Chain A
Amino acid sequence: MKLLTLNFLTCAIKTCKSSPSSFPLHPRDAELEIVEADLNLKFLENILPRLMWDELRVVVDELGLPTLPPTIPTRADLVAPSSPTSSSSSSDPAPSQTARDLHRILIETCVREGKLVCGNCGHEYAVKEGVANFLLPAHLV
C-alpha cells in the first residue's frame, strides 16, 4: 500500500472520525518495499494541494524515512529549472529533484506488512502482502 493512501485513511470506527488524533493512522512494525513506478509530474502537481503535509511528515518520521521539508513544496518546486540552451516550448517540463523525492515517498514507498494504528482508540489494522484490512470485529461495528 503506497504511502499516499495514508493521506486519505483514518479509523473505520465512526466515533473516532471526529477526533483529530484518529488521523493519520500510525504505522507499526512496518515492513516497507519500493515498487518502482513511472513518475507522472502532472499527477504530482495535481495532488499537491490535497496533501496533509504536517501529518505526512509525522508518518514519514515514524517509518524512519528521511524527514520531509517543513513546508510543502509548491508546484514550481516540482519542475526542474529549464536549461538556457533549450528554448523550445514544446518540450515537457522535467521533474525536479523535489518531484523525484516526493514520487519516491508517496507513490513508490509501500507498506508491505505491519499494522496501522488509530491514535484515538488504539485499534490496529493489519497490512498483509500490501493489502490493508479495515474490517472491524462484530463488537466494534
Chain B
Amino acid sequence: MTSIPPDPDTTTDTALEIKSRGEEYEAQHVHSVYEEIASHFSSTRYKPWPIVERFLKEQPDGSIGADVGCGNGKYLGVNDRVFIIGSDRSTNLTRIATRHAPHSAIVASILALPHPHNAFDFAISIAVIHHLSTPERRIEAVRCVLELLRRPSTPDAQDGGKALIYVWALEQKESRRGWDEGCEQDVMVPWVMKGKKEGGRKAGRKGRRRRKQGDGDGVGEQEQDEGSEHQMGAGQGDQEGEQEEGQKEPGDKTYLRYYHLYRKGELEHDIEEAGGRVVECGYEKDNWWAIATPKGDT
C-alpha cells in the first residue's frame, strides 16, 4: 500500500499553520495571553451583554448552571437565586471570578470539564468557542457544553437544559475592524497593554492607574468583543481606537490572540453537528448567539 503523495498546496505557509493548530497552538496564542493580560482584561469587563443578562435572569430560582469560560466572572453577579459554577482556562481570571457569592469558580478546559453529565439546568459560554482553532475542536467544545445539560423528557421535547453560546461574528462591517463576509475567518487580534515595559504580573498589580489608561485608549478589541460598547458608545470607541494605533508607545506591549470569526449560520451548524438543537438564535453587536438544547436521542 503506497500512501498518496502530499498535495503540493499543503506545503504553503497557511496550510502549515492550519495543520499546527490545536491544543498547543491555543496554549500559545490564547491561554498564555489571557494569563498575562488577566488583570487588565478584567478591568475592562464589567458590563454584561443584555441577552446574556436576560437569559440568566429568566432561569427559575434554584437552577444549577455552568459558565464555561467565565473569565473574571462578570456574569456570576447577575442572578444570586441560582447556583453557577464558573470555569476558565486562566488561573488568574478564575481567581478574580471566585469573588462572586454565592457562586463558585474553578480552573478547567472546556474540552475536559470536571462536571457530571446531564446535571445542569443551564449553561452559558460567552466569547469562548471562537478561541478554539480547528472546526473539530469547536464542535467538540459545543458538545462538551451540551453534555452538561439535563436531557429532555422525551426525544422531541424541548424541556432539557439550555445553553447560551456567544461567538464573535465575521460580519461586522460597522465595527472599527470592518471585517465582513468574504474576509479571512481565522485572525490574530491584538491586545495592547499601555505603559512601561513590565512583566504581566507586576503590571496587574498597578491596578487603578493602568485601568484608567487602558479604558481611555480604547485598547484592543474591547469595544467589540464583549459589549464594552454599551459603556463607551460606538463612535467614541472607534475614534479612540484609531488614536490608539497612532499613539502606540515604545513601552507598550502588544499581545496577539487567535480568533475564529463565525460567519452567518456557522454557529447553528456547529450546534447541530454537536448533537444539539437550536432553540433561538440571533446577532447582537458583532456577535452571533444561539440558545441550544440537547436532543433526547443522544
| A interface residues with partner B (beta carbon < 8 Å) | 1-2, 4-5, 8-14, 17, 23, 25, 37, 40, 42-43, 45-47, 49-50, 107, 125, 129-136, 138, 141
Contacts and interface: CB of A to CB of B under 8 A. Distances in A.
A130 B98 contact: yes
Contacts of A50: 62, 64
A33 to B, nearest CB: 13
Contact of B98 (A46, A131, A136): A131
B112 A138 contact: no
A131 B95 contact: yes
B83 to A, nearest CB: 6
Interface string B211-227: 00000000000000000
B53 interface: no
Contacts of B115: 8-10
Contacts of A125: 114
B108 A8 contact: no
A8 B107 contact: no
Contacts of A134: 87, 106-109, 112-114
Contact of A1 (B62, B91, B106): B106
Nearest to B97: A131
Interface string B256-268: 0000000000000
Interface string B5-27: 00000000000000000010000
Contact of A133 (B63, B104, B106): B106
A5 B114 contact: no
Nearest to B106: A132
B81 interface: yes
Given A47-B64, A133-B91, A12 B23 contact: no
B85 interface: yes
Nearest to A18: B117
Closest 3 CB pairs of A and B: A46-B62, A134-B108, A12-B114
5 contacts: A1-B98, A2-B104, A10-B116, A14-B112, A136-B109
A3 to B, nearest CB: 10
Interface residues of B, number: 32
Given A5-B104, A17-B117, A131-B91, A43 B112 contact: no
Contact of B107 (A10, A14, A17, A133): A133
A4 B101 CA distance: 12
Contacts of B109: 12, 134-136, 141
Nearest to A49: B62
A18 to B, nearest CB: 9
B40 interface: no
Contacts of A129: 95
A8 B116 contact: yes
B221 to A, nearest CB: 26
B61 interface: yes
Contacts of B101: 37
Contact of B116 (A2, A17, A138, A141): A17
Interface string B236-250: 000000000000000
Given A9-B115, A43-B102, A131-B105, 17 more contacts: A4-B83, A5-B85, A5-B106, A8-B116, A9-B85, A12-B108, A23-B116, A37-B101, A42-B62, A43-B61, A46-B62, A47-B83, A131-B95, A134-B108, A134-B113, A136-B112, A138-B23
B89 interface: yes
Contacts of B62: 42-43, 45-47, 49-50
Given A14-B112, A138-B23, A43 B81 contact: yes
Contacts of B119: 8
Contacts of A2: 104
Contact of B113 (A5, A12, A133): A12
Interface string B93-137: 011001001101111110111111101100000000000000000
B80 interface: yes
A17 to B, nearest CB: 6
A28 to B, nearest CB: 16
